[in-house]
Chains A and B, each alone.
Chain A
Amino acid sequence: AQSVTQLGSHVSVSEGALVLLRCNYSSSVPPYLFWYVQYPNQGLQLLLKYTSAATLVKGINGFEAEFKKSETSFHLTKPSAHMSDAAEYFCAVKKSSGDKLTFGTGTRLAVRP
């Protein structure tokens, strides 16, 4: 079964600082990996996805993630945090295009002025 582990339920950074949100996956086959963002009282918005093409994936709002098979990781980064990045971030995995999406427990990002 596919699963993802997100280390750190809460991360706090200063505005302008690097954002690093960690995600490790467990999968019996090369996975499809995703990052979604959830702003307060809103739905889930896709940030970026990895589907076995380039290992460095660029998403919306300046975020990117790197697929590292040797580390079974798909960490999310952004060079410079903005106040508007404060939200909950979910890593998710599926084993094939038509499979269900399995979410991690989420990381709440706070951005300090």
Chain B
Amino acid sequence: EPEVTQTPSHQVTQMGQEVILRCVPISNHLYFYWYRQILGQKVEFLVSFYNNEISEKSEIFDDQFSVERPDGSNFTLKIRSTKLEDSAMYFCASQILTGELFFGEGSRLTVL
């Protein structure tokens, strides 16, 4: 069964460093998303991406964040200069037209 894959599963970084989280969505899907979940808290929307551009972003998704789909398969989330409060589990998701999102297993980011 097709699935969304994310790498790395866990990344530890120093505050101020750049981080890139990678996702390979399901191949025929059209909408792509990043969500995050701070430990013990709710799952929060960061950004949605459709037709090679951002379709919506939350207030969390500030200038330190960016997304791109460089080669038609990978979908990346970049955090330019990480802060302690960026420590969270980051989930990638993709969707065809039927409404449900398919999520990856997540990338745990720890900022020291």
A contacts, CB < 8 Å to B: 32, 34, 36, 42-46, 49, 51, 90, 94, 97-98, 100-106
Q: Mark B80-103, 1 if CB is under 8 A from A, else 0.
A: 000000000001010101111111
B106 lies within 8 A of A101 (CB) = no
Q: Is the interface of B mostly helix, strand, loop or mixed?
A: strand
A98 to B96, CA, bound (A): 9
A34 lies within 8 A of B100 (CB) = yes
What A residues does B98 contact at CB under 8 A? 51, 97
Q: Contacts A34-B100, A43-B106, A49-B99 given; indicate if A100 touches B56 (C-beta within 8 A).
A: yes
Q: Contacts A43-B91, A44-B91, A90-B43 given; indicate if A100 touches B48 (C-beta within 8 A).
A: yes
A101 lies within 8 A of B31 (CB) = no
Q: Told that A101-B101, A105-B41 touch, could you supply 11 new A-B pairs with CB distance under 8 A?
A: A34-B99, A43-B91, A44-B91, A44-B93, A49-B100, A94-B99, A98-B50, A100-B48, A101-B33, A103-B35, A106-B43
A111 to B43, CA, bound (A): 23
What A residues does B104 contact at CB under 8 A? 43
Which 6 pairs across A and B sit closest by C-beta, in order of nearness?
Answer: A44-B103, A43-B105, A103-B43, A43-B103, A105-B42, A97-B99
**B45 on interface, CB distance cutoff 8 Å:** yes
Q: In angstroms, how far is the closest chain A Cβ from the Cβ of B31?
A: 6
A32 to B100, CA, bound (A): 9
* Residue in B41, B97, B102 whose CB lies within 8 Å of A97: B97
Q: Which of B48-100 contact A (CB under 8 A)?
A: 48, 50, 55-56, 91, 93, 95, 97-100
